[in-house]
Chain A
């Protein structure tokens, strides 16, 4: 085999693919062949780099040059200039918007500087369709160690000590969940990976599955070993075709190498994984709804208890963990619980992946240590608000979360601090709003989403969310009175208090938090308050008038 001197790594995450990175790859390969460099320079398809705003991303190694917004016609220059003549293609370098400087190294870019990549460690680095690249990065070593050197209790103890908590939103301690499932007396147990990512604007799980599918498969096998399950299920939404195809490739390759299947690493431990496709219902991310859906039933939640750990898939003890949670498992096994616990805050250890979206310069995927402030994420990593506009608020936790305003920007973020601020960690969606955004409209947007996605099983979820939305509509139409605001508040708390599952228990959060922080924007729409009625638009003049 010829010696490869240079790797051209091209992002093939969904975002970059949508911007023709597939064509970039084809052009690169054709030109390399034409120039006779096909042997010594190879083009590698990688997972997501996270900097989706600047995609398609192309990185040249070992030169460590990071090209952004590469179009198919740029392939010629990359080969002719960079590869053949050794000259960087200046126009494809990232320009830091504040200093207007060109930056060619990834680690020098503000977007990456404060990031700490644990769950995303291999994304953008390896070819997700080649198990050997994963193994070259230490892949499946943790599974080998676990199955041959560690007892089930030791594995659970390690995960418990690490302080890892569920990354799907609830933040339940992962080790404890494993322990509870392990303790159940049953011959048949299941471990399920929840890949039903549904928050608008969130794509953490998709990127991991697209960019590093084996990290999830390996961790599921470790989890299966720990709890005593020989069967895993990945419940993934059918709208993630690329992730599904990469998972299928990964499963096939892992089975071929005996890393899944019977007697893994020559031990008595056997484990395999099935894929189940979700039809796109948001509520199926709730674990009991997910299990119902896996069983072919209507995707709606059950009341808990019994928890899935006690009675889950077909009544058997079942452990449901999120994609990102799994992606943290092998580093914990390989580098130790202490290392993991050294990152983060007292109660929230490790890192968290966030999807930055909305009014922010650097839209993309970032992984940061717990305890970082929102200010650092939004202004340092995210590059601040575009067009010189003023920051107004950030919605964390997707439609289930709430808004956090300027005064909350310096709080170190973890599960508890976000809850205290009336929002939540959620799965990691982060949507930034600027001064032009009307917060009543924002609340209405989220309510429309949860109202549509509610399964309908419980009365507050089925009718309550609809009525909340209708009152919000009435408000923004300028037809509401103060009595409507009272009714809205009361209803929002009732739905939060009385709904059956997490979806609708958290659905009113955007309303409750915007009412708390932006009450005057609600008042601006009210007809019996003495001020000019807003035409669905909040204006500075309105605000001044109400305050006086």
Chain B
């Protein structure tokens, strides 16, 4: 921040006038930014500038931010989002010409947009809809041909409805620039242009990781998650089924947003109450699975260090990241940890240990995962994770879908009392909570590895060097006489940087945490839409660390239920039974 201010001081200052207000702005600033500074709101649609997420969509294509620049003699309309201020610039945002042009741009978009707001998954969340209201669109004067493409329902995770694509290219920027996956790009020409995979092949045939960053930034419902709410209702209403639910760490710091609460509000207790009232037979915590993951991953790390096996070890809690390495770096598949992801581990334990303990037939247990993530939907369908004996997770819904269910159930969320997760699979530590933010998994692993490697008690469990919103972070942690070199990357573009280092043999790390979504799961594709405000993600992050501090137990290997699980059922961490149940393998995939 201080650096930015200094840069501002060094910059040349320009005098400009916006709507008769004189102001001085630093060189390089756009009309949009300058206007924002004096409380003049210029509508935008395609524009997206998420600094912390390194996502800058500046296509200037929607023409919804047109303003008039010039004087009485010569003036023209320019897009405010990309037009930079110059000294003496005179801007008017409220002339008839500008207002008409902006409104007509939205009218034109609507003239080629399905009239189905009532039934649209983005109803009341749609930026185009909001804009139509903001710009006073009262009729659509242009009737004519509309795009008519079939919906792409091919994948288990993402639904692509190209008829709703307004060609803002935000998803393309997220997919190509931020995530470097290159799945989505502009195809077709002129009126037929929309964003999709090349030749518009089905999503399932592409190398899409289903990270959902495209869904997170799509202003309309052209890209949404596959909707699985009804499957959950069906299970809950089936008297023969024992339905257990687990919620990922990042849900509790974001769910409240869907009910008008401030971003960063921690709603763990209300969430548990809501789930209980909705009729789940047991309300558990994915954090339990996260603690279990740490037991396995820390043990695997120590095993690799002690036995001179492959280093660095890569965390693999993130299924989008796993799919990314399978497609993009298949030659590195021996590098990641073989641990299943926390919610899949949870599913396995629910259908084995928990089933035995409760005397339930595993086939009658339905495991529902509430995830901040779209990729988890596809992960739960991976063949190696859905073999009969390991049919680990049955249904995955996102934070948004849970919010929709709570509303549908008629539960007034903000008025709910708090409740506690059920035992045994609801017991979790602070270490597992921080899985929800970038750097958290590795910090949790370090808390455990430290004590296991040194045999000493770790007094200060907070590793500041492992925390931050940068895309790539390198840090070192001293463990006894050894220095553990850690890398953290969030966002697949950043992951690519680290993977290329590993491939070229330049990487000098012991352990690397990778999360597909910038900022980690708090910024996941299944989270409440941030609508271009990256402050929301920061607040969720602060809440995650706050939740960690509130926990009495903050190290995974001190979770009593986990210890009991190993004692009574699994044996040793990274041992034979643990291997059989909690580890998996990867598959080389093609790059399309």
Contact = CB atoms under 8 A, between A and B. Distances in A.
Interface in B98-112: 100-101, 104-105, 108-109, 111-112
B100 A463 contact: no
B61 interface: yes
Interface stretch (B140-148, B377-385, B561-569): B140-148
Contact of A458 (B61, B100, B111): B61
A497 B101 contact: yes
B272 to A, nearest CB: 46
Contacts of A460: 63, 105, 108
Given A456-B186, A458-B63, A494 B101 contact: yes
A463 B143 CA distance: 11
B63 A498 contact: yes
A494 B101 CA distance: 6
Contact of B105 (A456, A459, A470): A459
Interface stretch (A266-274, A341-349, A447-455, A516-524): A447-455
Contact of A464 (B108, B143, B188, B193): B108
Contacts of A497: 66, 76-77, 97, 101
A23 interface: no
Contacts of B79: 303, 500
Q: Give the dominant DSSP class at A's interface.
A: helix
Given A463-B109, A466-B145, A470-B145, A456 B63 contact: no
The interface centre, meaning the residue of A459, A460, A464, A499 with most chain B CB atoms within 10 A of its CB, is A459
Contact of B167 (A453, A456, A498): A456
A95 to B, nearest CB: 46
B61, B84, B143: which has the most chain A beta carbons within 10 Å? B61
B62 interface: yes
A487 interface: yes
Given A457-B167, A463-B108, A470-B144, A500 B190 contact: no
A281 B112 contact: no
Interface string A489-514: 01100100111100000000000000
B191 A466 contact: yes
A117 interface: no
B141 A487 contact: yes
B128 to A, nearest CB: 11
A494 B61 contact: no
B77 A498 contact: yes
Interface in B77-108: 77, 79, 82, 84, 97, 100-101, 104-105, 108
Contacts of B391: none
Contacts of A470: 142-145
Nearest to A484: B141
Nearest to B58: A303
B186 A454 contact: no
Contact of A456 (B60, B66, B97, B192): B192
A461 B108 CA distance: 10
A300 B193 CA distance: 11
A474 to B, nearest CB: 9
Contact of A457 (B66, B104, B185, B193): B193
B509 to A, nearest CB: 32
* Residue with the highest number of chain B CB atoms closer than 10 Å, among A305, A453, A454, A457: A457
Contact of A498 (B105, B112, B166, B189): B105
A451 B189 CA distance: 10
A467 interface: yes
A460 to B, nearest CB: 6
A465 interface: yes
B54 interface: no
B265 interface: no
Contacts of B141: 487
A465 B190 contact: yes
B163 interface: no
A494 B190 contact: no
B191 A500 contact: no
Nearest to B108: A463
B390 interface: no
Contacts of B193: 455-457, 462
A490 B103 CA distance: 12
A298 interface: yes
A466 B193 CA distance: 12
A11 B99 CA distance: 56
Nearest to B76: A497
Contacts of A453: 189-190
A467 B63 contact: no
A198 to B, nearest CB: 14
Contacts of B61: 457-459, 500
Nearest to B97: A497
A463 B63 contact: no
A461 B105 CA distance: 10
A454 B64 CA distance: 19
Contacts of B62: 458-459
B132 to A, nearest CB: 13
Most chain A beta-carbon neighbours within 10 Å: one of B100, B166, B190, B193: B190
Contact of A459 (B63, B97, B186): B63
Contact of B189 (A456, A491, A494): A456
B186 A463 contact: no
Nearest to B84: A305
A456 B101 contact: no
Given A456-B167, A459-B105, A467-B111, A281 B63 contact: no
B59 interface: yes
Contacts of A281: 189
A539 to B, nearest CB: 28
A462 B101 contact: no
A282 to B, nearest CB: 10
Contacts of B64: 459
B286 to A, nearest CB: 41
A300 B108 CA distance: 20
B190 A303 contact: no
Contacts of B60: 303, 458, 500
B222 to A, nearest CB: 15
A487 B139 CA distance: 13
A498 B82 contact: no
Interface in B326-358: none
Contacts of A457: 59, 61, 167, 186, 193
A494 B104 contact: yes
Contacts of A465: 190-191
A213 to B, nearest CB: 31
Q: Which of A458, A465, A470, A500 has the most CB of B within 10 A?
A: A458
Contact of A298 (B63, B104, B185): B185
Contacts of A456: 167, 186, 188-193
Contacts of A462: 167, 190-191, 193
Nearest to B82: A303
A451 B142 CA distance: 16
Contacts of B145: 466, 470
Interface in A293-315: 298, 300, 303, 305
B186 A298 contact: yes
Contacts of B109: 459, 463
B47 to A, nearest CB: 12
Interface in B159-195: 166-167, 185-186, 188-193
A466 B77 contact: no
A281 B193 CA distance: 14
A462 B145 CA distance: 12
A451 B63 contact: no
B214 to A, nearest CB: 17
Given A451-B190, A494-B100, A498-B105, 4 more contacts: A303-B82, A466-B191, A494-B104, A500-B61
The 9 closest A-B pairs by CB, nearest first: A456-B193, A470-B144, A463-B108, A467-B142, A454-B190, A303-B60, A466-B191, A498-B63, A458-B61
Interface of A: 281, 298, 300, 303, 305, 451-467, 470, 487, 490-491, 494, 497-500
10 contacts: A300-B186, A452-B190, A456-B186, A459-B61, A459-B63, A459-B64, A462-B191, A463-B112, A465-B190, A467-B144
